[in-house]
Amino acid sequence: MTDAQKRFIELEKKKTEIKKYFEDLAEATQAVADEVGVDGHFQDAEGTVYQIVIPAGKFVTFDKISYQRTRREGEKKGDLSMTKARELGYVVEGK
């Protein structure tokens, strides 16, 4: 078996686990959306700001609800700009 085939098999075996993770994340996202509403937002203890949004669509199947967040330490950028987070009233470090 080639290295590519071994890697494929390793990843394919994780498919069910990963699918479950995304299903769980979608449920958790919906629960937060139910709490704060679309365009609602919140900040975690590490300073990352999240905003609930209706996604423009990035996959063949579209999520009904999603989120954007500011970048985390070590990341170049997040989906939610620091400027937008500040406009929402959060204190965030960075440009």
| pLDDT for the residue numbered 47 | 94
Encode pLDDT of 29-79 as tens digits.
Answer: 999 999 999 999 999 999 999 999 988 766 566 667 888 998 888 888 888
Encode pLDDT of 17-36 as tens digits.
Answer: 999 999 999 999 999 999 99
Whether pTM exceeds 0.85: no
| pLDDT for the residue numbered 76 | 86
| pLDDT for the residue numbered 28 | 97
Q: Closest Cα partner for 49 from 21, 87, 10?
A: 87
